[in-house]
Amino acid sequence: MRRIPGSVSRFFFPRKKSSHENYKNTEKDWAFPEELCRRFSLAEITTATQCFDASLFIGSGVFGSVYKGRIKVNGDEDRTDVVAIKRIFTDSERQVRQFRAEVELLCQLRHTNLISLIGFCQENGECFIVYNYMPNGSLRDYLYETCNIKNKDAFPLTWKQRLKICIGVARAIHYLHAGVKHTIIHRNVKCWNILLDQNLVPKLSGFVLSKRGPPVLSNALIRLNSELAGTKGYIDPEYVWSGQLTEKSDVFSFGMVLFEVLCAKSCTRDIPECVKKGDTFPAMIDPFLVGKVAPGCLRKFMNIAERCVRLSGAERPTMGEVEVELECALELQESADAIKQLKELGTTASSSLAPPPPAAAHDMEDYTYQDISFSEINENLPHIYLREWP
């Protein structure tokens, strides 16, 4: 049985010493296919970020610091585009390798629900990745890091907005697993890596840990022997035990995201605390959603989430199945809302001569959940969230 290194924090990496000291200055050794994306100069990056001015700093993650910037993307001299520039931490050879791998991977992918790579820069020992700027930040901000919310008008996200975000992310992961020549396993699906554009369209990001598998030829699961990497709380326990990464590892992490979306709580911190206290469903559901989610839709959504986080990968659905079932959950919500609205219109019309204005979903009477049995999911909650690490 594999053991996670003692210093478990957000990420798991076995540490490897750099094999040669000069790794930062190897930009010339990188035969990067430049026709696939722009290579920016360090001067362009410095100008774009006004010398990394603190006012343009967006935030920092494990792999680098992100700045908002303005840069000339096309040849047009007068036009600059708003971008996000990640200044990669380059303390080790591993980080430089990961930077190159992310650039090489992202420049070959195109999907509405994936973050777009605009270009990169590697110069003077510094590495940068330039992405499309996402004005609405990350899904995490809207669920449980609400102090970071950029657009207060969009908070709290409605249930249908959340469902559409989940469907978009499921499409992106399905594309990675089955829509490209070589299957890609993201390995770090989490709410922080789901960015939202101006229309709240989700864009999956954070490809630094992604792994490319063999060509997609059959329905057989891709199994990659890979060193352990991911984020605690989202990482597939089967991958932790076996060291074998499969597409189902992304399915597990996505299942955790689904629970976070429903509860507006973090699966690494808040949900385990609630479960320890003995909280159960439906009390764990985000209070803003209670009564707004149609019972049929809730049943379907919880069923998908519960199957995604099963201990055995073989028992989890594929991302294609998850995508279709989430679309079905959205249809269930829309048809329940339509029926309820019609009923309410009928009641009001019969008690008044003037035709009432159409009721918005949030004005309608609340749904109730007494017909749903939560016992199975409630029994499983400790197994899902209070798992002992091997």
Ligand X SMILES: Nc1ncnc2c1ncn2[C@@H]1O[C@H](COP(=O)(O)OP(=O)(O)OP(=O)(O)O)[C@@H](O)[C@H]1O
Contact residues toward ligand X (CB under 6 A) are 10, 58-64, 66, 84, 86, 115, 131-134, 137-138, 192-193, 195, 205-206
CB of 62 to ligand X, least distance (A): 4
* CB-closest chain residue to ligand X: 61
Alpha-carbon gap, residue 342 to 359, rounded angstroms: 9
CB of 203 to ligand X, least distance (A): 8
CB of 245 to ligand X, least distance (A): 18
**Tokens standing for residue 271:** 């949900």
From 255, 333, 272, select the one nearest 299 (Cα to Cα): 333
Nearer to ligand X, 120 or 374 (CB): 120
Preceding omega of 282 cis (within 30 degrees of 0): yes
Nearer to ligand X, 84 or 258 (CB): 84
CB of 270 to ligand X, least distance (A): 17
Neighbours of 280 (CB within 10 A): 15
Exposed/middle/buried for residue 51 (C-beta within 10 Å: 0-12, 13-18, 19+): exposed
How many helices, marked H, and strands, marked E, lie in the chain?
10, 12
Neighbours of 297 (CB within 10 A): 24
CB of 332 to ligand X, least distance (A): 31
**Tokens standing for residue 261:** 């979306």
Cα atoms found within 13 Å of the Cα of residue 191, Cβ hemisphere only: 24
Q: What is the largest CA-CA distance in the chain?
A: 83
Binding residues, as ranges, are 86
Alpha-carbon gap, residue 34 to 23, rounded angstroms: 21
Nearer to ligand X, 61 or 243 (CB): 61
Alpha-carbon gap, residue 307 to 314, rounded angstroms: 10
**What Cα–Cα distance (Å) separates residue 154 from each residue in 132, 202, 261?**
20, 14, 15
CB of 188 to ligand X, least distance (A): 6
Nearer to ligand X, 198 or 375 (CB): 198
Residue with tokens 């840069």: 71
CB of 205 to ligand X, least distance (A): 6
Nearer to ligand X, 62 or 178 (CB): 62
Residue 146 is classified by DSSP as: G
Nearer to ligand X, 192 or 367 (CB): 192
Binding residues for ATP, as ranges, are 86
Nearer to ligand X, 118 or 332 (CB): 118
**Where are the alpha helices (H) located in the chain, listed in sequence order?**
42-48, 93-106, 139-143, 159-178, 237-242, 247-263, 270-277, 295-308, 319-351, 375-385
